Chains A and B, each alone.
Chain A
Amino acid sequence: GAGVSQSPRYKVAKRGQDVALRCDPISGHVSLFWYQQALGQGPEFLTYFQNEAQLDKSGLPSDRFFAERPEGSVSTLKIQRTQQEDSAVYLCASSRISGQGAGETQYFGPGTRLLVL
């Protein structure tokens, strides 16, 4: 079936603008993750959902970042009043089950590249 999809693929925002990034996980996947990948770095965890519940948001860098998954499927990462340091690739990943099996595979989307001018 289809993989994880993200939109938009590219986003240019002026500093101070709000942006919304969308993630469509693989159908039926319970777990959904957001990661931030700065240029030349590895992805860093932002937040995790199990179905519609946001179980961990410890990686969100500030209260300008907000994520939701209201129906346990599609998720949106919103960044308010964007700053230049928010420029990065935002990756979404999903996995089939939760809480069990540390080896469970996370499937990544292509990412949204955000550039804040």
Chain B
Amino acid sequence: GNSVTQMEGPVTLSEEAFLTINCTYTATGYPSLFWYVQYPGEGLQLLLKATKADDKGSNKGFEATYRKETTSFHLEKGSVQVSDSAVYFCALRRGNTGFQKLVFGTGTRLLVSP
């Protein structure tokens, strides 16, 4: 079946450090891939997405590249801020046909200290 595996957290960084959160997936067909972010006390927000192999999604300084050969979609940011502290969820959705159920990973908590 379809599944998403994320690195366990928490990830603790100092401000301006480089961030990588690993995400790998198992899926049939050609899924679309997403990163969602959940700030404390708030709902899930779409951070970025990629719909086909080699696509790069980017937003707010975050980037992730859809790597079909390694079935990965790692999230990166060159310089994190305290305000980036949140829980990050990698997710996939099947492509081609059918409805659009999202399959999520378990989430990775990021803590950024000043």
Taking the nearest CB of chain A, how far is it from the CB of B50, in angstroms? 8
Residue of B nearest to A111 (CB): B43
Which residues of A in the span 23-70 have a Cβ within 8 Å of any Cβ on B? 31, 33, 35, 40-45, 48, 50, 55-56, 59
Residue of A nearest to B36 (CB): A108
Q: Is the CB of A108 within 8 A of B101?
A: no
Q: Is the CB of B94 within 8 A of A102?
A: yes
Residue of B nearest to A95 (CB): B100
The number of residue pairs between A and B whose CB atoms lie closer than 8 Å in the complex comes to: 72
Q: Which of B32, B99, B102 is A43 in contact with, Cβ under 8 Å?
A: B102
Interface residue tally on A, bucketed by range: 20 to 34
Which residues of B in the span 58-114 have a Cβ within 8 Å of any Cβ on A? 89, 91, 93-107
Greatest chain A CB density within 10 A among B36, B44, B93, B103 is at B44
Residues of A within 8 A of B (CB): 4, 31, 33, 35, 40-45, 48, 50, 55-56, 59, 91, 93, 95, 98-99, 102-111
12 CB-based A-B contacts, threshold 8 Å: A4-B43, A33-B100, A42-B89, A42-B91, A48-B100, A55-B99, A56-B99, A98-B100, A102-B31, A102-B51, A102-B96, A105-B49
